[in-house]
Chain A
Amino acid sequence: MHWTRVHDLPDYVYFNHSAHVNAAVGCESCHGRIDQMVKVYQAKPLTMEWCLGCHRDPAPFLRNPENVTKMGYVPAPGEGEDIKKKNGVNPPTNCSTCHR
């Protein structure tokens, strides 16, 4: 079966899913409400600025690890901050983090 890649990053961007899942970033933070899409589309801009936004302040996008895949989940106040502290989430913002 041939698939069409919707969330397509250029070849010069290094992206590692596991780093993001293990840091407890929810799927929907980047992919949007896949559960409500009839035909999947790119919900977020996936631009460098957008990536950096989260890398500079990840807390609002972190949640308890068991809820990573849960769509429409709203983290409790302070939940992101706690996870950030607990798991030591300090995403780097160097160019070479993604362009390597």
Chain B
Amino acid sequence: MSQEEELHVLDDQPGASEHVDHAHDDHDHAHGEHDHAHHDHDHDHDHGDAPLAALPPTPVHGYWKSVAELEGLSGLQTMPGREFPLGVDEPTKDPLSRRNFFHLMGASMALAGVGACRRYEKEEIVPLARRPEDQTPGITQQYATAFELGGVGHGLVATAFEGRPIKLDGNPEHPFASGGVVTGTERHAGCSTFVQASILHLYDPDRAQSPTGNGTGSSFEAFRATLAQLRSGLATTHVLSEASSSPTLRALRAKLVGAGAQWHEYEPLSWDNERAGMKLAFGGAGARPIARLDRAETILTIDCDIFTEHPASLKYSRDYARSRRQNGSLGIGKMNRLWSVESVFSNTGAMADHRLGLRSELGLPFAMALDAALGGGTSPAAEFLKEPKVDRYLKVLVDELKQNTGKSVVIAGRRQPPEVHALVARINQAIGAPGQTLEYVEDPDGERPSHLRAIGDVTKLMAAGRVGTLIMLGGNPVYDAPADLGFGNALKNVKTSVHLHEYHNETSLLSTWHVPRAHFLEAWGDVRTWDGTVSVAQPLVAPLYGGLSAIELISSLLGDDKGGQELVQATHRDLGFEPNWKQSVHDGFVANTQHPAATAALTAFGLPTLSPGQLGGSLRTNGELEVVFVQSSFTYDGRYANNAWLWETPDFLTKVTWDNYALVGANTATGLGLENDTMIKVKVGDREIELPCYTIPGQAKGSIGLVLGGGRTAAGRVGGMGTRTVGWDTYKVRTSAGWDYANKATVTATGKAYTLANIQEHWDIRTGIGNRPDIQHDATHVNAKGIEDRLPELIHETTNKELTEDKAWRAEKSEGFFNDLANAGTKDRPNEGGFSLFKEKDYQGHRWAMAIDLSTCTGCNACMVACQAENNIPVVGRKEVMNNREMSWIRIDRYFKGSIEDPEVVHQPVGCQHCEQAPCEQVCPVGATTHSDEGLNDMAYNRCI
């Protein structure tokens, strides 16, 4: 690889600014000042021990979708000349057939109401003589409520139709993560895929419907009868709770601890490293940093996905969008610039203007070097820092941060050790972030031991037989606790264990009692969003199966036996919000209850000695590879495993559905002889796991990403039962010592083929037209050339500078409207229009249009799940996805650009186009999709078969 390509990340990176979607300020120094002719060739990674195969050339037209395409369409040639893949028209022999699958998708059916399938029968009605307040039959109601995931609250608005909750969205009035990004969107609020999909669980027939005691079906009465006995043993009672921000649960916790019990909190995806780092940096109880991205001109993330993983990701996404537009929060003509240093390719890396792929382990020496350059400690003598690409990246970054003092911010991620977070605090201080682009608030639970420590402590006590009663509030530690602890075995030493969970999962199977937990739309509760705003969660329905909430269970255990509403209201009163109870329930939050600002004065802190790996170069040999644990876009940490909507929403970067896998960098894979769609063996310490390999461009060299959340054995009919699992249990190789990332991993190919249900190459425009073996797919061929010719027409790119100075650009280059072209051509080109097969219809009155700002789309997938929830689009399952039968109405295209080593990513959400002459309307056998007189492509849901 030439020096030129080596330096791609910066030299070409004005390349990033060539997109509309990556356009930004023209910082001249970023790509002009540094002469790269003198870089030392010794550090060129080509000289490493995992030799790179000759990398395929970048296609002439620049954009590519997958490694297969880049390598000469080898993946596509499996279906030469066919529009549809082989076997697609043959009946399925899979036991999980399509018909069965619909059977399994009971939740979706329950949500949609199967009533529409039969002739309606005689109905008796009772007049609403005492009509419930604000209820009009047939009109939907909206209620504010709240949801919690991993101890972080989100304010929501739930829509109910005749008493049945049907849709969840962000609460537009909530002070956190709401409000307009552009004029006209003031009534919008952020929402995630998990929020959107969580409503499906309410209707999931696989949810536990009654308590289980000692492995057999039991009743709530029987469970309640044992509470008195449990209460007498509070001195040896331990509570293992999933993370919760609930003030009510906190109050109950204090009572229970007062009565002699002990409380532990565990979350498999935890942000405790940040808490520990803040304690290091500031001493005392630490603090919680919250960035103000709407004010930031330069944003650096270190191994952190601020758009889908960070607890404040909904706020960060909105704020980022505000400063990412030409007339946004930074003022006219200014756009932010995002730098990302990360191991696994994340949504943030995909958005970044400058991305540097580095193993997670190297986060620490990188942060030390950055700190040193900004006047902190000393820079480590790490070899990788001298590599031309890293060296240059760091130099330009430091220049920019120095130039943008008070207008920059650095954010570190969950996987990075506390020291990196402490260094980041010091760096932020040096670049003048606090008070400007960064706020510190008090840590609400500063004294709590870290999640990792807590699970270790409680498991040790359990194993030693010192736990009389273990109450588990949610969670699934048997599945997701660090593998070395042996939580499942330790659980057998506990006299009485009670597991409160919506599902009868792996942990429930080993517990004395399993008690069904109420869905959050079935129970009163309260949560705090990441900034601390107290948010009230009101139920929309009575528990469908009579479940309990965590606060109700603890209250019963204490002998108070209060209802959820009473408990939440009592907390509200104790915190002094009582006069506004009705207002709080109505709004869904209590105004001005953010955590108070923290005084964050830096203290001196020590740094650990760097390991040989951290001091080495960026290349690793097999046996010293790094393994990084990645949040699943399908199941979060495994908890949403029974959610078919999420499983069938393709991961933004890999486009895989219904699976989890090992993410291997394209060059690492070549070096190790690993192939896409084969099984590989990953050995971490003395634990190993076999799972499919997904080769992804841009993954840091020597780093393997293991996606968590698959391989559930007691999730439900959708997510895996017994031996029929979905995905692979990567927790098996996640230990306490290598919880965030592990080193010294060995990866070997097994040679076994395993096809991932990847939608990437589906519906490729070339496949039907002439993708035949006798035609060479090269740049001279008509197909490749056709694409190349067409691209400038389809893709308009510019820089922020050009856009600001040359107003004509955005303009006013008029393009012929379809109708004009089709019928009469344009003014300049009369009679040059194409011909339509159909008679064009003339529309009067309203017409509709929708624009998507490609410069702010982060590929978070929330729109895909929202569309599924809103339109109740069926899921088809893994087998049928592989037959190209996925049915989603929206997709988000993801294109790579540039080299396979350091690609840039371009996003393109493709919604329904509402075609004037929609092909789906022509072929619909039942006339379910039709055109309205406003030109929209409408769907008569009851007709769809």
Q: Are these two chains actual partners, yes or no?
A: yes
Interface residues of A (CB under 8 A from B): 1-5, 8, 10-12, 14, 92, 94-96, 99-100
Q: Which of B897-945 contact A (CB under 8 A)?
A: 927, 930-933, 936, 938-943
Q: Contacts A12-B116, A94-B931, A94-B932: A3 and B124 contacting too (C-beta < 8 A)? A: yes
Q: How far is the CA of A10 from the CA of B940 in the complex (A)?
A: 13
Q: Count the B residues whose beta carbon is within 8 Å of the partner chain — how many? A: 23
Task: List A contacts of B939 (CB < 8 A).
Answer: 96
Q: How far is the CA of A5 from the CA of B933 in the complex (A)?
A: 33
| Minimum CB–CB distance for A21 against chain B, Å | 16
Q: Contacts A94-B938, A99-B942: A4 and B930 contacting too (C-beta < 8 A)? A: no
Q: Do the beta carbons of B938 and A5 come within 8 Å of each other?
A: no
Select B125's contact among A5, A10, A99, beta carbons within 8 Å. A5
Q: Contacts A94-B930, A99-B941: A4 and B122 contacting too (C-beta < 8 A)? A: yes
Task: List A contacts of B943 (CB < 8 A).
Answer: 95, 99
Q: Mark B597-632, 1 if CB is under 8 A from A, else 0.
A: 000000000000000000000000000000000000
| Minimum CB–CB distance for B939 against chain A, Å | 8
| Minimum CB–CB distance for A58 against chain B, Å | 16
Q: Do the beta carbons of B940 and A2 come within 8 Å of each other?
A: no
Select B938's contact among A3, A10, A12, A95, beta carbons within 8 Å. A95
Interface residues of B (CB under 8 A from A): 113, 115-116, 120, 122-127, 138, 927, 930-933, 936, 938-943
Q: Which of A1, A4, A14, A99 has the most CB of B within 10 A?
A: A99
Task: List A contacts of B933 (CB < 8 A).
Answer: 92, 94
Residue contacts A-B, CB under 8 angstroms, 17 given: A1-B127, A3-B124, A4-B123, A5-B122, A5-B125, A10-B116, A12-B941, A92-B932, A92-B933, A94-B930, A94-B931, A95-B930, A95-B938, A95-B943, A96-B930, A96-B936, A99-B941
Task: List B contacts of A92 (CB < 8 A).
Answer: 932-933
Q: Do the beta carbons of A4 and B124 come within 8 Å of each other?
A: yes
Task: List A contacts of B936 (CB < 8 A).
Answer: 96
Q: How far is the CA of A8 from the CA of B932 in the complex (A)?
A: 26
Q: Which of A4, A5, A94, A96 has the most CB of B within 10 A?
A: A96
Q: Do the beta carbons of A95 and B127 come within 8 Å of each other?
A: no
Q: Do the beta carbons of A95 and B123 come within 8 Å of each other?
A: no
The 6 closest A-B pairs by CB, nearest first: A96-B938, A12-B942, A99-B940, A94-B932, A95-B930, A95-B940
Task: List B contacts of A12 (CB < 8 A).
Answer: 116, 940-942
Q: How far is the CA of A5 from the CA of B122 in the complex (A)?
A: 7
Task: List B contacts of A8 (CB < 8 A).
Answer: 120, 123
Q: How far is the CA of A92 from the CA of B846 in the complex (A)?
A: 13
| Minimum CB–CB distance for B114 against chain A, Å | 11
Q: Do the beta carbons of B115 and A2 come within 8 Å of each other?
A: no
Task: List B contacts of A10 (CB < 8 A).
Answer: 116, 120, 942
Q: Contacts A95-B938, A99-B942: A5 and B930 contacting too (C-beta < 8 A)? A: no
| Minimum CB–CB distance for A13 against chain B, Å | 8
Q: How far is the CA of A92 from the CA of B931 in the complex (A)?
A: 12
Task: List B contacts of A1 (CB < 8 A).
Answer: 126-127
Q: Do the beta carbons of A3 and B940 come within 8 Å of each other?
A: no
| Minimum CB–CB distance for B124 against chain A, Å | 5
Task: List B contacts of A94 (CB < 8 A).
Answer: 930-933, 938
Q: How far is the CA of A11 from the CA of B164 in the complex (A)?
A: 14
Q: Do the beta carbons of A11 and B123 come within 8 Å of each other?
A: no
Task: List B contacts of A11 (CB < 8 A).
Answer: 113, 115-116, 120
Q: Contacts A11-B113, A11-B116, A96-B930: A5 and B940 contacting too (C-beta < 8 A)? A: no
Q: How far is the CA of A11 from the CA of B166 in the complex (A)?
A: 15
| Minimum CB–CB distance for A59 against chain B, Å | 19
Task: List A contacts of B124 (CB < 8 A).
Answer: 2-5
Task: List A contacts of B942 (CB < 8 A).
Answer: 10, 12, 99
| Minimum CB–CB distance for A67 against chain B, Å | 27
Task: List B contacts of A95 (CB < 8 A).
Answer: 927, 930, 932, 938, 940, 943
| Minimum CB–CB distance for B130 against chain A, Å | 13
Q: Do the beta carbons of A96 and B116 come within 8 Å of each other?
A: no
Q: Which residue of B lies closest to A12 (CB)?
A: B942
Q: Do the beta carbons of B126 and A2 come within 8 Å of each other?
A: yes
Q: How far is the CA of A100 from the CA of B140 in the complex (A)?
A: 13
Select A96's contact among B120, B125, B932, beta carbons within 8 Å. B932
| Minimum CB–CB distance for A99 against chain B, Å | 4
Q: Contacts A12-B941, A94-B931: A3 and B127 contacting too (C-beta < 8 A)? A: yes
Q: Which residue of B lies closest to A10 (CB)?
A: B120
Task: List A contacts of B122 (CB < 8 A).
Answer: 4-5
Q: Which residue of A lies closest to B123 (CB)?
A: A5
| Minimum CB–CB distance for B844 against chain A, Å | 10
Task: List A contacts of B138 (CB < 8 A).
Answer: 14
> Given contacts A11-B116, A94-B931, A96-B930, could you give 11 more A-B pairs where the C-beta distance is less than 8 Å?
A2-B125, A2-B126, A4-B125, A5-B122, A8-B120, A10-B116, A14-B138, A95-B940, A95-B943, A99-B942, A100-B938
Task: List A contacts of B125 (CB < 8 A).
Answer: 2-5
Q: Do the beta carbons of A3 and B115 come within 8 Å of each other?
A: no
Q: How far is the CA of A5 from the CA of B125 in the complex (A)?
A: 6
Q: Do the beta carbons of B120 and A3 come within 8 Å of each other?
A: no
Task: List B contacts of A99 (CB < 8 A).
Answer: 940-943
| Minimum CB–CB distance for B674 against chain A, Å | 51
| Minimum CB–CB distance for A94 against chain B, Å | 4
Q: Which residue of A lies closest to B932 (CB)?
A: A94
